[in-house]
Structures are given as C-alpha cells and as structure tokens.
Amino acid sequence: MKYKILEKPDSEQAYELVHEALRKRATIVIYACCKVNYEGRALSQLNWGERIILIKPDGAFLIHQEKKVEPVNWQPPKSKTRSYLKDDNLFLESHRRTPKELLTVEIRKIHFINYANIEDYEELEQAGYEKDMSDMIMEKPHLIEEGFVPTTREYSVEHGFIDILGKDKDNNLMVLELKARKAGVSAVKQLRRYLQDLENTDNDYLKECNAQKKKIRGLLVAPSIMDDAQELIEEEGIEFVAVEPPRELKRDKKTTLDAF
Amino acid sequence: MKYKILEKPDSEQAYELVHEALRKRATIVIYACCKVNYEGRALSQLNWGERIILIKPDGAFLIHQEKKVEPVNWQPPKSKTRSYLKDDNLFLESHRRTPKELLTVEIRKIHFINYANIEDYEELEQAGYEKDMSDMIMEKPHLIEEGFVPTTREYSVEHGFIDILGKDKDNNLMVLELKARKAGVSAVKQLRRYLQDLENTDNDYLKECNAQKKKIRGLLVAPSIMDDAQELIEEEGIEFVAVEPPRELKRDKKTTLDAF
DNA sequence: AAGTCCATCTCGTAT
DNA sequence: ATACGAGGTGGACTT
C-alpha cells in the first residue's frame, strides 16, 4: 500500500507529491490556505482561507470549509485534475467536459499533503427506502389489506409514475402511492394528480373499470401522515394505509434466509 | 493556531488526540480503517475498509470513500460527537436529536489523525442562479419584452409559487416561470399547473382580467429549452423567452458600480 | 420546530 | 449521452 505524507512542504515539494499521487491514482488530502475559482453551470469565487482539499481516484474533487456537510466547491467523478506551479504557488485545476466546468485552486501555504491508495472493497448496505417498501408490498400484499393483488409497478401516467397498481378482493382498481417517510400534503396532491391522469387518459385499466362498473381507489401508503395531509385525503376520498418501511439490511435478510 | 498530526498512533494516543480536538472545537481529519453503522431516517452499515473521516467544529461529521462527491455516511451540523475506547478500538459516535440519528464508527488501524483550528473568514461569492435571474428581471423588465411591468414575486398558488407576476403593455396578465438552467418538460408542466391554479382560484388578478377582458399569458424564462419541452409549450400556448442568468459576482458588480 | 423550494444538487437507472 | 426521479437529499428562508 502506497502512502506518503509531507508536513509544511514548499510549493515544489508539494507539486512533486501531487504529481506522483495523480499518476498513481491515489486519494489526496491537502490541508492548506487556498483561493478558489469555479466557472461552469454557475460561477463562484472564494478568497484566501484554510480548507481541506480531497481529490479522489475517480476524479471527484472536494474543497471543505470548517462548516457544513456540503463542500464549498467541488467537481464530480470523471473530472480531470492537473497541477502546475505559477508565481511560486501550487495550482490545482479540475476540468469537466460536459457540461464544461473548471475549478481552479491556488494554494499558498500548505500544512500537510497526504496521498494513499485507499483499500476499501465494501459497499454501503442500507434499508428503509421507498424501493424496499415497494419490494415488501409486492411480496406481502396483505400488508395493504386482505385480498389485495398488485399487478403493475411504476405505471406511467401524464404527471409521473404510479408506484403500484393492483386490485382489491372486489376487483376495484387500486392506485398506491408509497412514501418511506411521513406523508405530507404534496404526496396527497401527487396521488390526486395520478388519479386524475388515470381517469382522463385512455387506458385499459379505466376501460375495464368502466365495463365492470368498478371503482378506482387511491391509497396513500406511508409510515404516518401529517395533519393537513390527513384533512386533504378525507376531502379527496383517498385512503391512508400505515406501513413502516422495512428496516432490515440486505445482509441481515440473507442471514435470516440462510437459517432455513 | 493549534495544529497537531499523529502518524500511526495506537488507539489510546488516537483517543487522547480526538478528545483534545473535540474540546478545542478543532477540525479533525482521520485516515483509518473503520466500520460504520447508521440508524435514523434510514438504516445502514458499512464493513471494514479504509476511509477518510472529517469532523468539523459545527458538528458536521463526514465519512468519505475513495469514490463519489457525496460522503458514504454523515451527520449534519449541530450533531454531537463523542469518542471512547472499547475492546482496544477507538469509537466515534455522532448523535442528532431531531430527527433522532446515530452514527457509530469503529476504528481499527489509523494511518494518521490531524486536528487544526482552521482559519477561514471568507464566504463563497456566487452568481448564476434563479434568484439572480429574478433580481435582474425585476431591475430590467425589458429583458422579457418592451412594456413588461413586473408586479409581484413569489405569488402563492395551490401548487407552489409563481416566480414573477406582471403585465404587458396591453395590460394582459403575465405569469413568469424562471429556470436558471435549460428548461425541460417538468418546467412547462409546473407553469401549466400554476396557470390552472390561477384560473381555478378566486383571486384579484383573475377578476381584473375577466373584468377588462384581458388574457393570461404564461412565459417560461430560461437560457434554453429542451426539444420535448418546446413541443409541449406550443401545444399549451405558453411562450418561451430566452434569458441567460446573470454571471456577475457581487464583488464584480460592486467594482463595476464603483467605477461610476 | 416544521414546511417550502432551490441546487454547479448527486446518483442511479432506464431510454 | 440524455432524461427522470429519489434522497438519511443539504441548506436557506419563512412561518
């Protein structure tokens, strides 16, 4: 594993190290006083101050101030980094083609530069999202109600996609809008638009409903609902079904399954 | 300026340094092999691997893998960080109250730990956003067309806010939807909803239009428009006006003004 | 504290 | 390459 760190290097030493690191596709950490210019989708400049610079082997380039989660300036993965010396200062440039974006960092006083070929072969395992909810409901439709049979996922309508379409035990059409977190008014409006879309557009579901004189039921499925959204669904004749998103990590699930 | 760096410390040395850094409200950078658990709005776990950990004095806590702009795990500003030793490993915990979220990092092999009181008194100066466009149009309404008079900004309707309301030279009502980047179908749909909202709701603008037999004109204002959005606009009788977002930094603007 | 909307959103995914 | 939607969106602002 290649790993180097330099404290208080001069510009030339720093340049050499950065050059070496970029060639080796290493991850670079720099703590230094710098000045930043960005031009691309927007335009920005940041005057002299100390920041932490992170350059990743995938081309991602981050500049962090001592506040906030978000970097003050950045470039996305696949950007090309180059370094050069000018006026005895180290410059770093990160360039992106489409859209055309250029980040330029002038570096004055360097506290340290580190580079390393990071060894990390793990990916984040996560749960608790809308997709997990959707998977769970497709697997266990009785969570919605007895007799519910889901038929279609991501059904395209004018204003978006209906998360799950299905039928109840009486063959009424059910339109499910899923939210992994507390549902607000916007979720109800979204569902209402989808219902309008279904009713206003020519489609097989609508034809079948009309032919069989069945209803179209709108269901908002979420762990909980805000008060104003609750009021709105009552006005709109939409139903609310409380369902918690699954909080089971894939790894745990696999272990559970392996147990059988 | 306080600044310390330790290479390959053992767990106890690392614990001491982190403790000191947290007490001094310093910014901490750690490059180490770690394992991460998160529970809160969602749930995640990340197995052993090398990462870069950043802890900021405002409480922000970031864990970066060697890919992507976004941290693999994080906590927002105002989170509380604490550290402890267990089974001869260093643990870092970052805790948030509302919503309740806990990030736990177990650290095994540390390549280096650095802390420093970062000196940075500059804020990012930027331009090229929707708000800048809005400001510019309020100042120079002729950019939209001769005789345009803007009256209201951020006018609230059912599905959101109309960016700018105004009148043309013939006293027709104008509804402007601004986009700082290339406008897509979603922008047209948004504007269409706002127009419907205006027409379906009881409001003074509508009354005046009806009384004076004036039209309501919908205008999408953006630097450019996508092909499918252009088609939709023509169907809907909405107009498109090409306006570039201003690309002038406040600092530059001041200088320009000072020149007079 | 909670809601709303913009963002150099980023990131995945389907087209 | 482009389009579209989700996100532990973050962050600024309003209520």
pLDDT in tens, B194-214: 888 888 877 888 888 889 999
Q: SS3 for A251? A: helix
- Determine if the pTM surpasses 0.85: yes
Which span out of A154-163, B62-71, B233-242 was modeled with the highest average pLDDT?
Answer: B62-71
- Asked if strand C contacts A237 at the CB level, meaning under 7 A, the answer is no
- Tell how far CA B218 is from the center of its chain: 27
* A84: nearest Cα among A106, A109, A100: A106
Query: What whole-number percentage of chain B has pLDDT above 70?
Result: 95
Mean pLDDT score, B10-22: 97
* Residue B230: pLDDT over 50: yes
Identify the sign of the CA torsion A156, A157, A163, A166.
negative
Give the chain A residue whose CA is nearest to the CA of B248. A43
State residue A24's pLDDT score. Answer: 97
State residue A58's pLDDT score. Answer: 98
* A221: nearest Cα among A166, A156, A170: A166
User: In Å, how far are B27, B32, B82, B176, B223 from B59, measured between CA atoms?
Assistant: 10, 20, 11, 40, 39
pLDDT tens-digit profile of A146-188?
999 999 888 888 778 889 999 999 999 999 999 888 888 888 8
Banded pLDDT at B258 (limits 50, 70, 90): very low
CA dist., res. B200 & res. B143, Å (int): 30
Higher confidence at residue B96 or residue A199?
B96
Instruction: Decide: residue A222, CB within 10 A, 0-12 exposed, 13-18 middle, 19+ buried.
Output: buried
**What angle separates helix B185-200 from helix B204-211, to the nearest 10 degrees?**
80
- Assign residue A16 a region: left if phi > 0, alpha if psi is -120 to 50, beta otherwise? alpha
- Asked if strand D contacts B228 at the CB level, meaning under 7 A, the answer is yes
Q: Which residues pair with A83 in a beta bridge?
A: A92
Measured between alpha carbons, how far apart are the two ends of chain B, in Å? 42
Could you tell me the distance in Å between the CA of residue A131 and the C1' of nucleotide D10? 22
- Asked if strand D contacts B51 at the CB level, meaning under 7 A, the answer is no
Take residue B202 and report the two structure tokens written for it: 């009881």
Tell me the backbone φ, ψ of residue B243, rounded to 5 degrees. Answer: -135, 125
- Specify whether the CB–CB gap between A216 and A209 falls below 8 A: yes
Q: Which of residues 28-87 of A touch strand D (CB under 7 A)?
A: 68-70
**Chain B interface includes A136 (CB < 8 A):** no
Asked if the Cβ–Cβ distance from B119 to A43 is below 8 Å, we say no
Cα atoms in the 13 Å half-sphere on the side-chain side of B95: 8
CA dist., res. B96 & res. B110, Å (int): 26
* B33: nearest Cα among A18, A77, A114, A116: A116
State residue B197's pLDDT score. Answer: 83
* Residue B190: pLDDT over 50: yes
**Any idea which nucleotide's C1' is nearest the CA of B40?**
D8
State residue A149's pLDDT score. Answer: 94
State residue B184's pLDDT score. Answer: 87
Please give the mean pLDDT across all residues of chain B.
91
User: In Å, how far are A24, A79, A171, A180 from A100, measured between CA atoms?
Assistant: 26, 10, 54, 36
- Specify whether the CB–CB gap between B64 and B52 falls below 8 A: yes
Tokens 């790993």 locate to A3
Cα atoms in the 13 Å half-sphere on the side-chain side of B203: 14
Asked if the Cβ–Cβ distance from A66 to B128 is below 8 Å, we say no
pLDDT tens-digit profile of B141-188?
999 999 999 999 988 887 788 999 999 999 999 999 999 888 888 889
Asked if the Cβ–Cβ distance from A49 to B181 is below 8 Å, we say no
For residue B129, list chain A residues with Cβ-Cβ distance below 8 A.
Answer: 42
**Any idea which nucleotide's C1' is nearest the CA of B128?**
C8
* Residue B257: pLDDT over 90: no
Q: Which domains does chain B have, with CATH numbers?
A: 3-116 (2.70.180.20), 130-251 (3.40.1350.10)
Residues in chain A, pLDDT under 70: 1, 250-260
Interface of B with A in 173-202 (CB under 8 A): 180-181, 189
State which H helix or E strand residue A205 sits in: helix A204-211
State residue B105's pLDDT score. Answer: 98
Give the chain A residue whose CA is nearest to the CA of B223. A41
- Specify whether the CB–CB gap between A138 and A182 falls below 8 A: no
Tokens 């309404």 locate to B141
**Chain A interface includes B62 (CB < 8 A):** yes
Asked if the Cβ–Cβ distance from A116 to B121 is below 8 Å, we say no
State residue B251's pLDDT score. Answer: 54
Listed as own residue / partner, the contacts of B175-178 with beta carbons closer than 8 Å and 24 or more positions apart are B175/B216, B175/B217, B175/B218, B175/B219, B176/B137, B176/B144, B176/B150, B176/B219, B176/B221, B177/B218, B177/B219, B177/B220, B177/B221, B178/B130, B178/B133, B178/B134, B178/B137, B178/B221, B178/B222, B178/B243
- Asked if strand C contacts A74 at the CB level, meaning under 7 A, the answer is yes
Could you tell me the distance in Å between the CA of residue A113 and the C1' of nucleotide D4? 40
Mutation for A interface: B24, B35, B67, most A CBs within 10 A: B67
